[in-house]
Homo-oligomer: A and B are copies of this chain.
Amino acid sequence: MPKYVYDFTEGNRDMKDLLGGKGANLAEMTNLGLPVPPGFTITTEACRVYLATGAPPPELAAEVDEHLARLEQVMGRKLGDPDDPLLVSVRSGAKFSMPGMMDTVLNIGLNDASVNGLAKQGGNERFAWDSYRRLLSMFGKTVLGVDGELFEHALDEAKKAKGTTSDLDLEADDFQRLVEVYKDIIRTHAGREFPQDPREQLNLAIRAVFESWNGERARLYRRQERIPHDLGTAVNVVAMVFGNMGLDSGTGVAFTRDPGSGDQGIYGDYLQNAQGEDVVAGIRNTVPLTELEKLNKAAYDQLLDIMRTLERHYKDLCDIEFTIERGKLWMLQTRVGKRTAAAAFRIATQLVDEGLIDMDEALQRVTGAQLAQLMFPRFDEKAAKKQIAKGVNASPGAAVGKAVFDSKTAAEYAARGERVILVRRETNPDDLPGMIAAQGILTARGGKTSHAAVVARGMGKTCVSGAEQIDIDLANRRFTGPNGEVVQEGDVISIDGTSGAVYLGEVPVVPSPVVEYFEGKLAPDADPLVSAVHRIITHADARRRLGVEANADTPEDAQRARRFGAEGIGLCRTEHMFLGERRKVVERLILAKDEAEQQAALAELLPLQRDDFVGIFEAMDGLPVTVRLIDPPLHEFLPDLTDLSVRIAVAEAKGEPVDPHDRELLDAVRRLHEQNPMLGLRGVRLGLVIPGLFALQVRAIAEAAAILIKRGKNPRPEIMVPLVGAIQELEIVREEAEGILRTVSKETGVDVHALIGTMIEVPRAALTAAQIAEAAEFFSFGTNDLTQMTWGFSRDDVEGAFFGRYMDLGIFGVSPFETLDRDGVGRLIRMAVTEGRATRPDLRIGICGEHGGDPESVHFCHEVGLDYVSCSPFRVPVARLEAGRAAVESAGSDTR
């Protein structure tokens, strides 16, 4: 028979699955001999039985009785004793912290009789009736489901009757009257009396905590945080201690070092004569914890001693909650404390220096997300700033530019080289061009899942959303701040996507020291943060098994990526090699009347593209450069159908002459128009339909490599065929490419080699990977397209259109374009890796979608045994860090 109840003396911190986080840590502190109010924990298992059957396990009541009796014995008081009652709190506590999501009831054990005992024992009638009143409202609301507003309203009425607005002015008899009013409210709205039997109070409170696991808020929170729904919560029953019994009492919270900077020292707040809920309510101001030394030196010294004990014991920053009851210190909670990104890195290395943890552990204490935060530019903290509004911190970073009020104006300003902030009530897909043109986006409506927020995060643009204080006057092209500040179109503003602040004028931006370190502009020991980052990422590099490459299309990008630690280019797109000045040639290629014209256009492109590759291979000398042959459909190189149609129709309507070239173009645009270009004539299909197109690119690559080899360099090109769905496609391209490599080798007298492989980005490629590996020397997962096709939605079309709604509904915790969807896309990847390697054991396998730089996705790539990840240069350090963490994590799980 399982044991459903554990005394605090019976548990420990490793029992979080069973006792929840709070219960396990209370047990741990109890066993450390710290002053924890006695109590016990009802297990998550009991909760699971309750959730499955609708009733607690039959054995639970007897076990609670037994533990309650022991608690009464220890405390020397009995629950509900009319003369000297024991009071208990009933608190939820799940394995994973779900702050504010579930229920707590304090002061269980009070009733019409024991309230007098409490008054007598405490010598404080006001305190006793206040405590009873609090029990009634909390119990009424959370256990009996009465609307909490009713209690609030009654309290307000009582204050009004007294002619005050503060609880502190209410006296014992005021609260006594309120108790009767509250009991009435319960009677009327719950359809039953408040239970006078303390044991019944306790039972009902325990049930209520169990049920709160499935409350709507809690379910939504779990969906968003990806916490499984079947864990259940534990219930902690703890003897009440009171910080509100006079000036020798109080309550506080503290950190064992600065959670903001990581600096060592004492950080915390204290509130005299108060209970925890008062701190939250913000009725009075707290004082710095150091003040406690003056108020109660013994308790203060004891607290510092306990904090040192906890930090050595937990080997990490801890946060704690405590209460002082009539001069005596009680520990109510501890846990490993949250901290900022900078503090995380600094504390991790400090703990190594203190000999508490090793570098592997330090690496586990930081995350790629934290490193990414440290790499955003910030506003200069010391600069004078005039904040005019605050919104939701929707996409981090610091952006400065002229306010503009529509997408078109944004694009116009940007075309003139001006930096702009796009300001909109809210955005929709029409605003995309403006969002692309802007440094940042500011909206008056919408939260973190609004269109603006989702799209901006996808683009890596700074965004402040839902700044409701600003009033946009589109007609007059201006907005007004809450204090009347007027921002006209063209006025400069600054927005902080990390804090949500909106400033008037230009706030100086300071570059990230961490980025300056990666770029070699700052020494590894330049400051404590840089030093911590340097030590940890160096360790990550030593530990990781995954290679980290970059997606880079130009020599400049390649150089930057190399400085950031990239070990090659995993994706070199070639689309831009057909743009700019060359667009005219591409037009000729598309409009060609015969193959001769087609070949002439291609021949014109050859020397230009050869030079492109020379530059890129040179920048990555000695490292692999995976070149993706041209992927987008041809009509992307032509004007937009609607624009062109309107232009011609308008000219015709006005009787103006129409450029014959425009007409020719329109014919081509119409001919090439596709309903769904993402699913159209692109990638390998284009290569197989347009003779000479891929051949041009392969020749340019081969000739560039030959030039560099002659210069004594070591170019390592790899040729990647996009959008392959069937081995036959790859075989045909491969045969042609090998022929060209041989020809160029012969022509140049230099042996030119290149691996030939394919993107795996069409679901069918993953499903037939065993076949495709016969013709591919490497696979590179194009997880953007693979995600689009596996889910059947196009990123451009749906992110803004419904991802926000899907996140609200809990269908996504996070966009599958940000973090790789393990169940769907991930399953295809696993299949392709396993089956591809079964065919070709030395198959080189990487990933080159945006997921390559996403922390969780990097772990997945490690797990499934990829050889490398490739991501944007800026993300390379994040990927290095997470690859190291993944290696340490899996080494740890192997030995456990």
A residues adjacent to B (C-beta < 8 A): 223, 428-430, 641-642, 645-646, 649-650, 652-654, 670-671, 673-681, 685, 688-689, 723, 725-726, 728-729, 732, 761-764, 767-768, 771, 785, 788-794, 796-798, 801-802, 805-806, 809-811, 821, 823-825, 827-828
Sample 22 A-B pairs with CB under 8 A, ordered by A number. A429-B673, A430-B670, A645-B645, A645-B646, A654-B654, A675-B794, A676-B796, A678-B792, A679-B788, A679-B792, A680-B797, A685-B793, A685-B802, A728-B810, A762-B790, A763-B763, A763-B791, A763-B828, A764-B824, A771-B823, A789-B789, A789-B792
| Contact (Cβ within 8 A) B649 A794 | no
Distance between A300 CB and nearest chain B CB, rounded to angstroms: 51
| Contact (Cβ within 8 A) B671 A429 | yes
Q: Which residues of B contact A677 (CB under 8 A)?
A: 675-676, 797
Distance between A788 CB and nearest chain B CB, rounded to angstroms: 6
Distance between A824 CB and nearest chain B CB, rounded to angstroms: 4
| Contact (Cβ within 8 A) A797 B767 | no
| Contact (Cβ within 8 A) B681 A678 | no
Q: Which residues of B contact A767 (CB under 8 A)?
A: 790, 823-824, 827-828
Using A674-B794, A763-B790 as known contacts, list a sample of 4 further A-B pairs with CB atoms less than 8 Å apart, ordered by residue number in A: A680-B797, A762-B790, A764-B792, A767-B824
Cβ-closest chain B residue relative to A729 = B811
A676-B679 in contact given A767-B827, A824-B725 (Cβ < 8 Å): yes
Main secondary structure of the interface of A (DSSP, over half): helix
Distance between A815 CB and nearest chain B CB, rounded to angstroms: 13
A809 to B797, CA, bound (A): 34
Q: Which residues of B contact A802 (CB under 8 A)?
A: 681, 685, 688-689
A429 to B785, CA, bound (A): 25
Task: Identify which of A677, A762, A767, A798 gathers the most chain B CB atoms within 10 Å of its CB.
Answer: A767
A771 to B827, CA, bound (A): 14
A824 to B429, CA, bound (A): 34
The 4 closest A-B pairs by CB, nearest first: A764-B824, A679-B794, A762-B792, A676-B794
Cβ-closest chain B residue relative to A801 = B681
| Contact (Cβ within 8 A) A725 B792 | yes
Q: Which residues of B contact A676 (CB under 8 A)?
A: 675-679, 794, 796-797
Copies in the complex: 2
Task: Identify which of A223, A728, A771 gathers the most chain B CB atoms within 10 Å of its CB.
Answer: A728
A678 to B679, CA, bound (A): 9
| Contact (Cβ within 8 A) B728 A801 | no
User: Which residue in B670, B678, B797, B824 is a CB contact (below 8 Å) of A768?
Assistant: B824
| Contact (Cβ within 8 A) B679 A793 | yes
User: Which residue in B645, B679, B729, B792 is a CB contact (below 8 Å) of A763?
Assistant: B792
| Contact (Cβ within 8 A) B824 A685 | no
A649 to B652, CA, bound (A): 11
Q: Which residues of B contact A762 (CB under 8 A)?
A: 790-792
Cβ-closest chain B residue relative to A683 = B792
User: Which residue in B673, B679, B792 is a CB contact (below 8 Å) of A723?
Assistant: B792
A805 to B690, CA, bound (A): 10
| Contact (Cβ within 8 A) A689 B789 | no
Distance between A195 CB and nearest chain B CB, rounded to angstroms: 34
| Contact (Cβ within 8 A) B811 A681 | no
Distance between A555 CB and nearest chain B CB, rounded to angstroms: 31
Q: Which residues of B contact A726 (CB under 8 A)?
A: 811, 824
Distance between A474 CB and nearest chain B CB, rounded to angstroms: 14
Cβ-closest chain B residue relative to A641 = B642
Q: Which residues of B contact A675 (CB under 8 A)?
A: 676-678, 794, 796-797
| Contact (Cβ within 8 A) B671 A428 | yes
Distance between A827 CB and nearest chain B CB, rounded to angstroms: 5
Distance between A833 CB and nearest chain B CB, rounded to angstroms: 15
Q: Which residues of B contact A763 (CB under 8 A)?
A: 763, 789-792, 824, 828
| Contact (Cβ within 8 A) B681 A725 | no
Q: Which residues of B contact A761 (CB under 8 A)?
A: 792
Cβ-closest chain B residue relative to A787 = B764
User: Which residue in B428, B688, B796 is a CB contact (below 8 Å) of A809?
Assistant: B688
| Contact (Cβ within 8 A) A728 B223 | yes
Q: Which residues of B contact A797 (CB under 8 A)?
A: 674-677, 679-681
Cβ-closest chain B residue relative to A646 = B649
Q: Which residues of B contact A768 (CB under 8 A)?
A: 823-824, 827
